[in-house]
Amino acid sequence: MAAIAEMQSSAPATEYHAKHGDQGPVIEVRDFNLWYGAAQALHDITMTIERGLVTALIGPSGCGKSTLLRCLNRMNDLVDGLTIRGTMLLEGQDIYDARTDVIALRKRMGMVFQKPNPFPMSIYENVIYPLRVDGIRDRRILDETVERALRGAALWEEAKDRLNESALGLSGGQQQRLCIARAIAGDPEVLLMDEPCSALDPIATLKIEELIDKLSGQYTIIIVTHNMQQAARVSDNTAFMYLGRLIEYGETEQVFTTPRLQRTLDYVTGRFG
């Protein structure tokens, strides 16, 4: 404990004024540090993610947003030479505990990537992939899930007549919505989205933003974005990161209008970054 306190004191303090949801935090990150080889990518991140709210991660390129997001579902386990120190809790359970079942953990967190990555299978098979890996074969459950997830991802109307066609025949925006449908098909508690709209046109982006709006409340969503308007539009809380540190973490409206730190203001108004 003393060591942690010492580390906290050595790091520049983070400004916290995040909104609290009415259901309490779902994820807690405490003094989280991460190194790729010898290079430190995250410094002393401490934050809580409120259940049912949308949290946006913003910050200049290379500041560690993706790294932080991928740490939450241990996607970074694939990277060689990774060192971490600190704690991450999902509902009080340590994500990095040796006894944690990584697969079960990932089933509780859907993830949408920057580039749409549908599998080379039919649309139907793509959506039910999380159920397939659970060994569910009941056609009725699968059909229901497909409809629910595709409706949830606002793709049902476009895809319902071509469920058995290859997912690779969809447009980029449709593919991304399919990936969202896939992420929510397994009914996760948390949805992690890493720049989900960066490859999309404004209309598709709008659809996905509406979708996030619709999904908030039902899911806890963490979204990484470079688009300030988007962050302002969809999120409840915004975390501003810079050079691997969490600079300011607060209610979105305040972060964008009256941030507490000059650096945040500079970034959100486009003066650097």
Ligand X SMILES: Nc1ncnc2c1ncn2[C@@H]1O[C@H](COP(=O)(O)OP(=O)(O)OP(=O)(O)O)[C@@H](O)[C@H]1O
What residues make contact with ligand X under the rule CB under 6 A?
A: 36, 41, 59, 61-67, 79
Residue 66 vs 73, nearer CB to Mg ion = 66
Q: Which of 47, 111, 153, 228 binds other proteins (CB under 8 A)?
A: 111
When binding is defined by CB under 8 A, the residue of 20, 30, 85, 106 that contacts other proteins is 106
Taking CB under 8 A as the rule, which mask of x and - marks residues 186-225 in contact with other proteins?
x------------x--------------------------
Helix, strand or coil for residue 54? strand
Closest by Cα among 228, 185, 233, 236 to 206: 233
For residue 63, the partner it binds in ligand X, Mg ion, other proteins, none, with Cβ less than 5 to 8 A by kind, is ligand X
The nearer residue to other proteins, 123 or 255, going by C-beta atoms, is 123
Residue 122 CB, shortest distance to other proteins, in Å, is 10
**Which tokens go with 225?**
């974005």
The reply to whether 76 sits near Mg ion by the rule CB under 5 A is no
Which residue of the chain is nearest Mg ion when measured via CB? 66
Looking at the DSSP bridge assignments, the partners of residue 175 are none
Cβ closer to other proteins: 49 or 247? Answer: 49
Residue 247 and residue 206: Cα distance in Å, rounded?
28
Find the distance separating the first CA and the last CA of the chain, reported in whole Å. Answer: 35
Distance CA 5, CA 46 (A): 12
Selected binder of other proteins within 134, 138, 144, 213 (CB under 8 A):
134
Backbone angles phi, psi at 31, to 5 degrees: 45, 55
The closest of 124, 125, 127 to 161, measured between CA atoms, is 124
Which of 48, 66, 175, 264 is close enough to bind other proteins by CB under 8 A? 175
Three-state DSSP at 228 gives: helix
DSSP β-bridge partners for residue 32: 45
- β-pair partners for 246: 241
Which structure tokens are listed for 188? Answer: 């996760």
- Could you tell me the smallest distance in angstroms from the CB atom of residue 186 to other proteins? 6
Regarding 66 and contact with Mg ion (CB under 5 A), the answer is yes
Cα separation, 129 vs 63, whole angstroms: 32
State the residues that interact with other proteins by CB under 8 A. Answer: 73, 75, 78, 80, 103-104, 106-107, 109-111, 113, 115-120, 129-130, 132-134, 166, 168-172, 175, 179, 182-183, 186, 199
State the residues that interact with Mg ion by CB under 5 A. Answer: 66
